Structure 1
Amino acid sequence: MSAHDLDEFLILNVDDTDAALYAKSKILTRVGFKVISVSSGTEALQKAKELLPDLILLDTKLPDINGFDVCRQLKADPVTQFISILQTSASFITSGDKITALDGGADNYLCEPIEPEELISNIKALIRLSLAERELSEINRKKDAFLATLAHELRNPLGPIRNSLKLMETLENLTPKHHQLLNIISRQTNQMVRLVDDLLDVSRISLGKILLQPSNLEVDEFINAAIESSTYLIQDRGHQLDVNIMSKGLYVHGDKVRLVQVVSNLLNNAAKFTSRDGLISLSVVQENDFVIIKVTDNGIGLSKQNLATIFDLFVQHGRVEDRVHEGLGIGLSLVKNLIELHGGEIYVDSPGLGLGSTFLIKLKLIDAPIVDGKTTTDIINAVTLNKILVIDDNVDAANTLVDLLSLFGHEVQTAYTGKEGLELAKSFQPQLIFLDIGLPDMLGYEAARLLRKDDKNKGCVLIALTGYGTDNDKQLAINAGFDFHLTKPLNLGKIKFLNLGF
C-alpha cells in the first residue's frame, strides 16, 4: 500500500486519553490515513454507524462503555459488523484479556506501548484482509446473481417442454414406443429441474437465505411423499426397498417440502451408489423425544477417510460398475444443511468399502396437534375456474399452457405484455390469471398491483409464474397481491387444488 492508497481509507480512533488519542492520530495521518477521533464508547458506536470507517482503533478502557462491550455491540449490528476492529490496551494485557477481545469480535489485539511501525503494519494487514473479504463478497454476490439468472433462463424453455409433453400424451394412436420416448423426455426434464433447484439451494444456504416454512407435520406424510418421489429411480435400478415405520402418529415442526427433499435425496443417493438389484431399507422409530430416520443400503460403502468429507460440497466418493458419475455432488451437503436448519442432526456410518452405508437423521418430536376438521388452505372455494388468462412474454410457454388448459375445457386467453394483459383482464374478466414476473414493459409485481386495484379483479386468483424462486421473490409476489408463487417450469401437480382437471 502506497501513501497515495492510504488516503482512501478512514480510521476511527477511539481513546479517552488525550495524549494517546493525539499520538495515534498523528502516527496514522503522517503515513496518509484519514482519521476521525472520539473519546467515548457512545461516540464510537454513533460515528461507526454514521461514517462506516474501514477500521476502528479501539482502546479498551473508556469512560462510559468498556471497549470489549463496544466491540461486541459493533459486531452484533448488521450495519457495522464488517468493520475491522483493532483493540489496544495498556491496562488489560494478559492472555485472558486478549482472548476476551478476540472472542468478542476484535480482529486483532495489541498491548501498549506500541511501536508506530507495529501499529501501522497491523492496520495495513487488517485493511488488506478486509479488502480481500469485500472482494470475495462481491464475487459471491455476482455468482449468486449469475445463478439466479441462469436458473431463470434454464427454466423458461423447460416450461413449454413440459407443457408440450402433456399435450403429446393426449394424442391418439400413440404406440408403446411413443410412450417410452415421452417418458424418457419427461424424466430427463424433471432431472434438469432438480439440478437447477439444487444449485440455487446451495447458494441460498451458503448466504443464509433459505427460509423454512414450518408447520406441525406428521412424519408419515413427508416419508411417504419422499418414497413416492424416489420410487422410479429405485425401481429402474432393480433395487428392493424395505420400509419399516415402527412408530406411528409422530409429529415434527418442519417444512414439508424440505423434509421430503432430505429423505428423497438420501434414497436417491442410496439407489445411485448401489449396484443393480441391491437392497435399500428405510426405517422410522421413536427414541425418547426424537424421531430417528435411517436409510441403509448394501452399496459401495465409504472408507473412514471419506466418512469425514461426505457432507462437503461438490464431493462424490466412488462409483458403481454399471454407472458413470452423475449429479453435482451437492445433494448430501444440502441434506446436512437443511436438517441443521430444522434443529436436527445427521450422521453417516459405513463398515467400509463395498459394505454399504447408513445415514441417520434425528429430529425433535412435538405433541400431536389438535385436529379441528378444517382445511389448512381456504383461498380456493367451490368456484369453477373456467375463465383463465395467461400473461407471459415467452410465446412458446404461454401458447403451450393455453393449449393445455383449453384441452381440459377452460376458456383461455393470452397476452404477451403487461399492458396487453391489463386491457384483456378488463374485457375478459378472468377467474384465474397466470402472470409472469419478467414482462418486457413492466414487472409482474406492478401488473399485479394494478389488477388488484380494479374491483372486478378482487376475487380473481392470481398466480405468479416465474423463473425466479428465492424466498425473497415469493414474499415480493405475496406483497404485490398474488395468491400463489410458482416457479417455472410449471409442475401441474402443484396446482391440483385449483381443480383445473389435470
Structure 2
Amino acid sequence: MSPWVKDAVCRYGFAIASTVAVTWVRIFLSVSLEDRVPFALYYVSVLLTAWVGGSGPAVLALVMGIFATALWVIPPEGSLLGGDPAHLVALFVYGLVGVVAIVLFRRNDEEHALSQQHARNCDAMSKQLSDSDRRKDEFLALLAHELRNPLATLRTGIEYMERPNLESHKRREVRRSMRRQLEQLVLIVEDLLDVSRYLRGGLTLKREVIDLRDVIDRAIEMVRPQIDSNEHDLKFSRPAFPAAVNGDPLRLIQVVTNLLSNAAKYTPRQGRIRIFLDSEPTEMVLHVVDNGIGVALESQNAIFELFTQANASSTRESQGLGIGLALVKQLVEMHGGQAAVSSEGPGRGSRFTVRLPAADPALMTEPTPELSGVFAALPSPPPTDRGRPTRVLVVDDNVDAARTLASLLKLDGYAVRAAHDGCSGIEQACAFKPDVILLDIGMPGMDGYETARRIRAQRIDPRPTIVAVTGWGSDRDRAQSQAAGIDIHLVKPIDMAELNRAMATVDRGAAECV
C-alpha cells in the first residue's frame, strides 16, 4: 500500500469511526435526551474529524451524521424525510453550520500552511543573506590581499628607484618587476570591471574572424612572468591548421589568460601545464591541462560561479578573487560556446575545456588588441637612518617581492638573504642566523605560521626577531601570528620607514604584535 493510500484510509477511517462512536453515544443517551438537541454530539464528530483528518473526511463525517440523525434520532426512526418539519429545518441548519465549520477549518489550515511556508522562506532568505554577507567579507579580504601583493612590490620598487647612484642593470631589473606587478593589477581591475559590466548587461563583444592560435600565443605572453616565477613547464601543442573562430580577440585573450593564470595558481612550483587545440566539424576545442591540486567532484559544478575558490584552506595558499573562471564561463557563453572542467579529484590535476563555434578561415583577420590603464604615482616616505640589525632574511614565495625588498635592504646597509618557501626559509635561518626574518604568511605548502613555529623550535641563538610581512591584516591574523611566535605583524604594502623603525627599536625576545 502506497503512503498516500495509507494516509487516506487513516483519515477517512477516523471520520467513520468518530461518527459511529457519536451515534452509539447518542443512542445510549436517547432515554434521557429523547429528541432534544439531536445534533449536538455530531458537531463533535465533524469538528474532531476536520482537525485531525482535514476537510474531505470532515464532509464525510457531516453527511454520515445527517443520515444517522434522520434514521435513528429524529422520530419516526428509519425515515429520512418523515416526521416533524421543525426537525427537518433543524437538520438543514445542522448541515449548514457543519459546512461553515469545515470551511473555516480549511481556511485556517491554509493560512497555517501559508504562514509555515513564509517562515521557511524567511529562514531561507536569512541564510542566503548570511551567506552573502560572509562571502562579501571573504571577497573583500581576498581583494585586499590580491591588491596588496603587487602594491608591495610597487612601493618597494619606487623607494628603490629613488635612491641615488643606482647601477643601470639593477634599475632595469626593478623596473621589470614593477611592470609585471602593474600588469597583474591591470588584470585584477579589468576582471572586476568586466564582472560589473556583465551583471549590468553592459558587456559587449567586438567580433571578427580570428585565428585562435594567435589568441593563445598572446595569452601565453601575458602570463609568462607568472609561469616563469613558478618555474612551470608550459607547452602549447600548436596545430598546423588555422583555428578560425568568430569572436572578440580581446575577450578571448582574456579567457585563455584566466585559464592559464588559474592553472599556474593551482599548480605547484615546477609543475606541468599543457595547452591543446583540436578541430571538430563545427567547433574549435581548447584544452588547458595541469598536474596541480585538482578539483573535488562535488566542487566541479560550482567552480565557475562568482567568488568561488578551488582551494579555501586555512593556509590561504593559491587563493584568488574567485572571478576569473566565472568570467571565462560568461565570455565563452556570450560567444555561443561552452566551458567545462574535469578532474579525477584532489591532487590529480585538472582539465579545463572551452568549445567555440568554428568559422570560415578565409574570413580570418589578425587580432590587434591592446591593454591600457591609468596609474597614479604612489607616495614614498623618506628612509630612516636609525640604528638597526645587520642580518636580514626575506622569506616570500613572490620572487619579485622578495628580490626587490632584499635589494632595497642591501642599499640600506643590511646583509640580506632571500628564500622563496618555508623549508628553504628554515634552512637559511639555521645557516645564516639572521637578526630579523621578514616572513610572508600566505605561502604554498608550508605557510608562514608553520614556518615561524619551526624556526622557533630550532632555538637559534641569538633569537631572531620574526616580522610578518603579509597581505592578511585582520585581528584573527594578528592573533595567529602571535601564537606562532611572530614578533611583529606588518601588512603589505609596507612602509619602509615603518619597517626600519620596527627593526631598529624592537626588543629582541619580546613577543608583541603591532
TM-score (norm 1): 0.41
Higher Cα radius of gyration: 2
- Answer 1 or 2: higher relative contact order, Cα 8 Å, separation at least 6: 2
Larger fraction in strand = 1
